[in-house]
Structure 1
């Protein structure tokens, strides 16, 4: 079976990839339909929740602030209202939100399709790790999405919702702008948390080594701070809160790269 897969022509690989993409698209579409039907729950209960001053994240930061004897992190209100300025804006937001939710929910299956496509090029022993690959990748992605929802999004909404250059400016936010911020926060965080998986495959291909990652740790720190500044409001506390888990993921990636390097050295010694 493996020999037949190796003998596949370029066009056969393209055809195989096409069917993987078709199945992945169908999975996103099916979950998207479910999200589209559950409009009230998706918007009112989930997406608009960070707009409420009683959101769990705000209450947590308030308790932390009070623990240190101050109310600096407590908020009473996020003073802006939603508005729709175009005829098709709400429908467009509904469609793209459904697609995004469909992508998030279908992620484990998408990872499965990715594995099915790359597995023919792996050794028999490596193919046995399919279940672990899917579980770990999905776990990291969902963990990142939760981090984006409970940390990145509230920090961004609170900061940007309260920011004002003048009292003469009314805070009427386009619904598309708000949803775009939430959507980008969730997806960006989810994909960033896939860093250990990316490092694993780069290490397998010999493109990254633990010594390389250690050597450029300081550069990575600067890059992480810049990345944190991009996906969070421009205040130090928010950037530090977001940077910490990313730095932890980087250290985990160094450990993973070290393990992969040791395994590859053992294989090369056995084959020698």
Structure 2
């Protein structure tokens, strides 16, 4: 009987997961359809500001126009569907969390969306602008005639925007792993030198090969790591306080915990 209950519970669990995946896909498709209509406005805006304003775009392939519309539609749908997707993930794991863990995890959703938007703004306003300036300068220095294909231009842009914006989700990931007691601030401090090295390598990989560009991108990423350490310490202290309260309640004594 117990095995049957477990089997039924597993079936219900899978059914619940399938339902939420279908909801996420439905929202994504609807948002993508809306993104097709909004794409033209976003593209017109990008074309009206630098660096695209001073460029002449060309279609290298017959599919370039359609490809660009689809890329922007998918990008817009990801931004729209992200909060809903995170909420569905939270709702799925909610039954297995304690009440305070449910509230803490729910607060991650708006925070992660804000970081995603900030990451996109930083990627476009800083990293992408520097990359275009550097590559254009090199091309002109070689005496090349600049004929930019619209598909290549936006592919270049998205290849920068997506990785950088994902890096800005680091604080949310750190808080979540700390909440699960997989990570803690002491561990992050011990890994600080290694983390700095990795972030500098990442900054070097996504920026033009000059010191100023690398510096302007590496410093915000390092500050983001230090911000993640502070958030991890905050979550960790709350966990220690709750552990102490539990020990006092059941054992009637206090135990020291290193922070």
Q: TM-score, normalised by structure 2?
A: 0.83
Extract unaligned runs of 5+ from structure 2.
1-5, 248-259
When residues 154 and 166 of structure 1 are mapped into structure 2, their CA distance, relative to the original with a 3 A threshold, is: closer
Change in CA separation of 1:19 and 1:187 when aligned onto 2, cut-off 3 Å: farther
User: What pairs up with 1:133-144 in 2 under 5 angstroms?
Assistant: 133-144=108-119
- What does residue 209 of structure 1 align with? 184
Q: Deviations over 1:132-188 (max 9, x none)?
A: 222211111111111112111111122122322874533222222211122232222
- After superposition, the C-alpha distances for 1:198-221 in whole angstroms (9 at most, x for unaligned) are 001111222212111111211111
Judging by fraction of residues, say which structure has more helix. Answer: 2
Does 2:8 match 1:15?
no
CA contact under 8 A between 1:47 and 1:179: conserved in structure 2? no
1:238 is displaced (CA, Å) by 1.4
Tell me if structure 2 keeps the 8 A contact 1:50–1:157.
Answer: no
Q: Does the 8 Å CA contact 1:24/1:110 hold for their aligned counterparts?
A: yes
Identify which range, 248-257 or 43-52, moves more after superposition.
43-52
Residue 195 (1) aligns with residue 170 (2):
yes
SS in 2 for 1:129: helix
Taking a change above 3 Å as real, the CA distance of residues 142 and 238 of structure 1, as seen in their structure-2 partners, is same
CA RMSD of aligned residues (A): 2.4
1:241 equivalent in structure 2 = 216
The 3 A distance-change label for structure 1 pair 204 and 88 is same
Partner of 1:106: 81
Correspondence 1:126 to 2:101: yes
Deviations 1:79-132 (A, max 9, x none): x53222222122122112211111013222222122112222210122233552
- Of 91, 101, 112, the residue aligned with 2:66 is 91
Higher RCO (C-alpha 8 Å, min separation 6):
1
Which residue does 1:228 correspond to in 2?
A: 203
Residue 121 (structure 2) aligns with: 146
Q: Partners of 2:157 and 2:88 in 1: how far apart?
A: 27
Go from structure 1 to structure 2 and tell me whether the alpha carbon gap of 1:10 and 1:84 turns closer, same or farther (over 3 Å shift).
farther
Which consecutive unaligned segments of at least 5 residues does structure 1 have?
Answer: 1-5, 54-76
* TM-score after normalising by structure 1: 0.79
Q: Which has the larger radius of gyration?
A: 2
3-state SS of paired residue (2:139): coil
Q: Which moved more, 1:92-101 or 1:41-50?
A: 41-50
Distance in 1, Cα, partners of 2:7 & 2:38: 46
Residue 66 of structure 1 corresponds to none
